[in-house]
Structure 1
Amino acid sequence: MKNFNKILLLLLFSCFALPTFAQKASWIWYPGDFDIYMSNVMQNRRTERGSFFPVFWKMDSHYVLVDFHKEFSLTQPEEVKLFVEGTYNVKIDGQAVSGFPKTVNIPAGKHKLSLKVYSQGAVPAIFVQGKTVVSDETWLTTFEDKEWIDQSGKVSDKSGTTFVTAGSWNLTDPTKLPSQFKLPTKPLQAVSKKKAEAGALYDFGRETFGFIKLHGLKGKGRASLYYGESPEEALSTDKCETLDHLDIDLAQKKDSIMPLSKAFRYVNYQANGGVSVDSVSMLYEYAPVTERGSFKSSDTELNKIYDVAKYTFHLNTREFFIDGIKRDRWVWSGDAYQSYLMNYYSFFDAPTVKRTLLAQRGKDPVTAHINTIMDYSFYWFLGIYDYYKFTGDQKFVQDIYPRMQSLMTYIDGRKNKNGLLEWMPGDWIFIDWADKLSKDGEVSFEQLLYARSLETMALCAKLANDTDGAARYDKQAKELKAKIFELYWNQSKNALVHSRINDKQTDNVTRYANMFGIFFDYFTPEQKLGVKNNVLLNDKVAKITTPYMRFYELEALCAMGEQSYVLKEMKNYWGGMLKLGATSFWEEYNPDKKGVEHLEMYGRPYGKSLCHAWGASPIYLLGKYYLGVSPVTAGYETYTIEPSLGGLEWMEGKVPTANGDISVYMNKKEIKVGSAVGTGTLKIKSKSKPAVKGAEVKEISKGTYEIKIEKGKDYLVNYNPPTP
């Protein structure tokens, strides 16, 4: 009877059992091709006053003929659906299938499914969906198959073809071609409307980005839209940076959405002739990232700075990390490098980092620096190893390593007789926007970034199993570092000088190489102290006015334990923008400027971007140097938490990782931490030994203690902070 009941239960269960779902498929393409294609699409949307404004550098394109294949072992026959962007053929085990099949039947056993796709206008891409036969990043692909056939018709069994794993953006709807990809939008209304000449000035409440929508448009004549990050810009019909003109001939009311997205807070709608409109709204366009990182403290102004920084960063997170939403909307490598770091402490959106790195690098052969800027090539290298450190994604490093090699070969080929880099025709040495900043001769800042990039190459060579390359790049890096201190260190100035001209040091000392040398850990403790006092805290050394380099200056000071000083600087600098009404952070802020001077740049009255990604750096500073969380080994397998109040009464926040969050709370008596990942080390300073349940406290030096943090556990630590 018991057996009968068991059988009955099994039969009943089988009747109601859930169906077996097919594995998840995604559109795939040759790696990097869709990233390059979409970056071309995005960057060529830039307009200035209605005119097309193209980029300054070479734009690469996708491969137009791509082969895809994968071998499958099937326990039973399978019907497989095929979706393709382009003209294609299909082979099963090397035998062509007639026509352009939408489905193929693959018998049980081991088989190879191959598709070859041609597309000139869009990226060759495939979406394959069966029960177990699906397209994903495990498929192999090539842009040249290097096959040959002999006189008997036999296909070669030896091939020089290089196959790589496919690229994907996790586009999982087979009915939507990759070339149709768009970011999502949602409707938003203006918060106020004021009469302005023959139209109205609409205020959307804060900096935003999207498509203006005109409701109930009717009549014959012209409707014009003048966009502004400030009311002055929107009202300046002859000087505003962006605009739209529509010639209207409508007998019946009709809604109209502008074809290109714009950045604005204010929109000045003007019409002539008999044109009328019922109302003006917008479709807010955004990247669907998740806000994971957080920060809150006892200082309400600092909290506002953090919130506005995160909003600024989100606006500049699009298909890629871009510089600013109003003017360029280009993928600048130096801007993006800072965005990667902010991203690791906010959204932790790894795919956008990979997309941006691939788009920036483009294709071989290398004919110029990334964005034509020497320092921007170096930031690209640094971004790759940082990506590995934060995510643990070794495969990406291995995949992109050949492109790293070819770019470094290009750079190595441009050294001068001294083995250093200096300006050559076609180069742009940027460093920063600063008045009277010399780029002549052998600039120390460039050599410092070069050395760090060689160190990065050595690390990535190891990850790519290139033993010889690792040794070669390591040797180059050590030799260059030694040369930097031999040629640029000035003992009397306690600093690296800015440059060498005609084989001699210049007298000029700037902040750039010196502050990077601190957080690169290139200086001795004595040199660090000298640089801090003689350069970073020296008002006689030219000040930095861009958030771009302010980021690094404040990081160097934080690395020296100056969180209290940096807190005041953040409140003065970013707080200064808030006091002027900023709803997002700017490309440049100089507190000495007044009124509309803050809107000027590039010789244009409204040329400055009032929403620039590099303005959002407090996200990174607060996450890494106040909450104090940073990875030690890749993917947060091990990490440190070294919190610092920096003058705050209390603070709390979360730092995201690929596998969960790390939470930190701190006041002047206790610290609470918890982590979903890895093994951490909490480092704290205390006048007496801290007390904590369930963990050992080790004193590593006088007044400094360490506590091991295990994942899945919460810790409450009581401590006695030293007197400031």
Structure 2
Amino acid sequence: MKKVFILFMLISLGAELSAQNRVTWIWYPGDFEVWLSNKMQNRRTERGAFFPPFWRMDNHYVLIDFHKVFDVPSEEQVELYVEGQFNVKIDGKGISGYPRTITMPAGKHKLSMKVFCQDRVPAIFVKGKTVVSDSSWLVTYEDKEWIDASGKASDQSGTNWLSAGSWNFDSPSVPPSMFALATAPQSPVKVEKTAGSLLVDFGKETFGFIRLKGLKGNGRVSVYYGESKEEALATETCETLDHLEINAPVKKDSVMNLTKAFRFVNVKYHPDVSIDSVSMLYEYLPVADRGDFRCSDAEINRIYDVSKYTFHLNTREFFIDGIKRDRWIWSGDAYQSYLMNYYLLFDSPSVTRTLLALRGKDPVSSHINTIMDYTFYWFLGISDYYLYTGDKKFIEQFYPRMQSLMEFCLSRRNGDGLMEGLPGDWVFIDWADGLSKQGAVSFEQLLLARSLETMATCSKIVNDQEGATKYEKLASNLKAKIFSTYWNEQKQALVHSLVAGKQTDNVTRYANMFGIFFDYFDEQQKQGVKQHVLLNDKIQKITTPYMRFYELEALCAMGEQKHVLLEMKDYWGGMLKLGATSFWEEYNPSKKGAEHYAMYGRPFGKSLCHAWGASPLYLLGKYYLGVKPLSPGYASYVVEPVLGGLKWMDGKVPTPAGDVKVYCSTKEIRVQGVAGAGVLRIKSKTKPSGDGLEVKPLGNQLYEIGIGQNKAITVRYSAL
């Protein structure tokens, strides 16, 4: 299958922003993302049947107005490439026909184009010497112009113009509608051949198009896919398959139409059919790793490497949940992927593409993915995106969509001002046996409070002071209500829910662990939650990597890196001991054999490659190497390395201005800083020392050392 390779890597937000003036295809911001997500999410099949998403799917605007004012030094010829029907104006005067080249006169002139396209996103590529299309153009989907009886156009229109959207479509011959991921041929590591059957093993979990070479004869060929050998052999219950009818008197090759996830492929064919070989085209998004981690523990290194591979498999057109089953954009899964991305790839376009695809268009008629908590994760994703990248423009462009989504949430509160599931709302939280979703669940209130705080921050960025005041007040009042209604002093925890206005007896981990890293608890409450919830085996345990992500983050935030390291070795190491080559959607050590593959009432329903399984990428970068932004875009940052029982560790964390490199042993720490104002904080039995260093004691054996811009420091210390 011929695939068009059109991607190149933007290694940082700085690279992305510096490329604004390059000539590129442009469109209405967010429209390409919506269009592409519609194509991707409607590729899902189950045993050959089309399986569309559960939620409303929006579309791009079909008629777009583009314009920009240029100061042209001298007359120049300008080439026009357009996706759709279009007209062109210079200084408001129309040019007849569909010109492919126009003459732009010298001086200050306004170039306008209006494009209609139903099946693709209206887009333009304008190429002259100084007149080029880039993200500085202004666009709108309704120009609100009118003409009076004299023929004069209106002087005022009230049109809302936004900066054009773009990505990396920098060739006029490859417009956005031709987007495709890259592919590379791969061969299996083992093939078992019997009469009428080939069982093919590619050695590890993978994703792409199966290619059958040398097909000849007449009859049916069936391809059964399996993340496990058992699934590939289970022709009646495997999740995905392909059938093709062969009528080939001479040998030919065939590539399957749709990508699939698999490690094993079971090819069965009619006695009158022959096949020379089976291979694949591996499909991927070509983004390079910038983060890295190595340490003294070989098992942790293996966990990190498999986490990287898992994450790459689920980093596609967007951050998706898993490569076998859904292949949809789920907001809760994506939120964790954003965080992992900041510590491995730092690919900002993948984050914004995913955020925009999830949000869709107004009016808002349901929660994102129909899930209440997933709507709130969308707001949290924007908060983190701004913290890690410092990208104000994204917030300025899409603040109105944030407002309308938040107003939808606020309209669905109960009489006590709390979020409670209404008809059409899916309160998910986690896959956990017997987990009640009734009443007003404390976990949802914490997510709403943090979302309101995000709205207050973004209101200030766009100079909406009225909005900032409103959201700050709502957040403050809700946080007070959370503690007055859910905190149970005897249990030293937030209870799980209120039903009919009364506390339930149940305590779960969810709200309590989020309260820790949201920093909503005082120190006494944190210690109470730590002992009575997080380290209490009587509280229902978490079995999904999804929520283990947050549970281990809360423990790391409480300084429990030694405990978390053992948990990673037990939980993720447990999957590796069972032969996992990528990390799973759910892992329960008490299950045996093929029980591990079952989920959703189906023997092979579980995803064995799920994005949320890659969370060690984030935990090891943020809480062991200890690199965290303190202000947007790493203008200031902290490095707080914690060995957590390791003898040494060595790694790097990407930022917009380069990579922060950290080496830490029990006696020495080396840090290579970046352009921001960095600070190293370490605990040491003795006062740290180093050439030219100013060491500031903070008390309780904690010390702080400044990291000069783009400077390297070496510190001698004695680990506790």
| Length-normalised TM-score, structure 1 | 0.96
The equivalent residue for 2:442 is: 444
Q: Does 1:336 align with 2:327?
A: no
The equivalent residue for 2:226 is: 228
Q: Which letter maps to 2:664?
A: M
Return the offset for 1:481. 0.1
Measure, in 2, the Cα distance between the counterparts of 1:695 and 1:85.
59
The equivalent residue for 2:265 is: 267
The equivalent residue for 1:317 is: 315
The equivalent residue for 1:327 is: 325
Q: Which letter maps to 1:721?
A: A
The equivalent residue for 1:397 is: 395
Return the offset for 1:695. 2.1
The equivalent residue for 2:360 is: 362
Could you list the runs of 5+ residues in structure 2 that have no partner in the other structure? 1-19
Measure, in 2, the Cα distance between the counterparts of 1:451 and 1:37.
32
Measure, in 2, the Cα distance between the counterparts of 1:218 and 1:319.
35
Q: Which letter maps to 2:377?
A: Y
Question: In structure 2, the residue corresponding to 1:692 is in which secondary structure?
Answer: coil
Which of residues 95, 98, 108 is equivalent to 2:96?
A: 98
Return the offset for 1:157. 1.2
Return the offset for 1:721. 1.6
Measure, in 2, the Cα distance between the counterparts of 1:219 and 1:91.
59
Measure, in 2, the Cα distance between the counterparts of 1:159 and 1:493.
60
Aligned-residue sequence identity (percent) comes to 67
Return the offset for 1:177. 2.3
Which of residues 139, 142, 147 is equivalent to 1:141?
A: 139
Which of residues 404, 407, 410 is equivalent to 2:405?
A: 407
Question: In structure 2, the residue corresponding to 1:610 is in which secondary structure?
Answer: coil
The equivalent residue for 2:618 is: 620
Return the offset for 1:677. 2.5
Q: Which letter maps to 1:55?
A: P
Please say if residues 558 and 566 of structure 1, whose CA atoms lie closer than 8 Å, have aligned partners that are also in contact.
yes
Measure, in 1, the Cα distance between the counterparts of 2:547 and 2:536.
16
Deviations 1:473-532 (A, max 9, x none): 000000000000000000000000000111100000000000000000000100000000
Deviations 1:295-344 (A, max 9, x none): 00000000000000010000000010000000000000000000000000
Q: Which letter maps to 1:290?
A: A
Measure, in 2, the Cα distance between the counterparts of 1:671 and 1:124.
53
Question: In structure 1, the residue corresponding to 2:433 is in which secondary structure?
Answer: coil
Which of residues 573, 576, 599 is equivalent to 1:575?
A: 573
Q: Does 1:429 align with 2:442?
A: no
Return the offset for 1:702. 2.9
Measure, in 2, the Cα distance between the counterparts of 1:58 and 1:447.
25
The equivalent residue for 1:640 is: 638
Q: Does 1:652 align with 2:650?
A: yes
Q: Which letter maps to 2:627?
A: V
Measure, in 2, the Cα distance between the counterparts of 1:691 and 1:519.
31
Q: Does 1:31 align with 2:20?
A: no
Tell me: CA distance 1:23–1:488, structure 2 relative to 1, closer, same or farther (3 Å). Answer: closer
Measure, in 1, the Cα distance between the counterparts of 2:172 and 2:251.
36
Q: Pairwise mapping of residues 30-109 of structure 1 onto structure 2 (< 5 A)?
A: 30-109=28-107
The equivalent residue for 1:157 is: 155
Which of residues 669, 682, 685 is equivalent to 1:684?
A: 682
Measure, in 1, the Cα distance between the counterparts of 2:101 and 2:136.
21
Please say if residues 21 and 134 of structure 2, whose CA atoms lie closer than 8 Å, have aligned partners that are also in contact.
no
The equivalent residue for 2:593 is: 595
Q: Which letter maps to 2:209?
A: F
Q: Which stretches of structure 1, 4 residues or more, deviate above 4 A after TM superposition?
A: none
Measure, in 2, the Cα distance between the counterparts of 1:659 and 1:233.
46
Please say if residues 23 and 132 of structure 1, whose CA atoms lie closer than 8 Å, have aligned partners that are also in contact.
no
Measure, in 1, the Cα distance between the counterparts of 2:315 and 2:441.
32
Q: Which letter maps to 1:90?
A: V
Please say which structure displays the higher CA radius of gyration: 1
Question: In structure 2, the residue corresponding to 1:388 is in which secondary structure?
Answer: helix
Measure, in 1, the Cα distance between the counterparts of 2:478 and 2:505.
22
Please say if residues 196 and 271 of structure 2, whose CA atoms lie closer than 8 Å, have aligned partners that are also in contact.
no
The equivalent residue for 2:374 is: 376
The equivalent residue for 1:562 is: 560
Deviations 1:515-564 (A, max 9, x none): 00000000010000000000000000000000000000000000000000
Q: Pairwise mapping of residues 521-536 of structure 1 onto structure 2 (< 5 A)?
A: 521-536=519-534
Question: In structure 2, the residue corresponding to 1:100 is in which secondary structure?
Answer: coil
Return the offset for 1:24. 2.6
The equivalent residue for 1:211 is: 209
Q: Which letter maps to 1:399?
A: Q
The equivalent residue for 1:3 is: none
Please say if residues 124 and 133 of structure 2, whose CA atoms lie closer than 8 Å, have aligned partners that are also in contact.
yes
Return the offset for 1:60. 0.3
Measure, in 1, the Cα distance between the counterparts of 2:252 and 2:155.
63
Question: In structure 2, the residue corresponding to 1:208 is in which secondary structure?
Answer: strand
Measure, in 2, the Cα distance between the counterparts of 1:130 and 1:495.
64
Question: In structure 1, the residue corresponding to 2:419 is in which secondary structure?
Answer: coil
Measure, in 1, the Cα distance between the counterparts of 2:444 and 2:91.
53
The equivalent residue for 1:293 is: 291
Please say if residues 674 and 711 of structure 1, whose CA atoms lie closer than 8 Å, have aligned partners that are also in contact.
no
Q: Which letter maps to 2:409?
A: I
Please say if residues 169 and 351 of structure 1, whose CA atoms lie closer than 8 Å, have aligned partners that are also in contact.
yes
Alignment RMSD (CA, Å)? 0.9
Return the offset for 1:196. 4.6
Please say if residues 444 and 488 of structure 1, whose CA atoms lie closer than 8 Å, have aligned partners that are also in contact.
yes
| Length-normalised TM-score, structure 2 | 0.97
Question: In structure 1, the residue corresponding to 2:444 is in which secondary structure?
Answer: helix
The equivalent residue for 2:541 is: 543
Measure, in 1, the Cα distance between the counterparts of 2:457 and 2:638.
21
Please say if residues 661 and 677 of structure 1, whose CA atoms lie closer than 8 Å, have aligned partners that are also in contact.
no
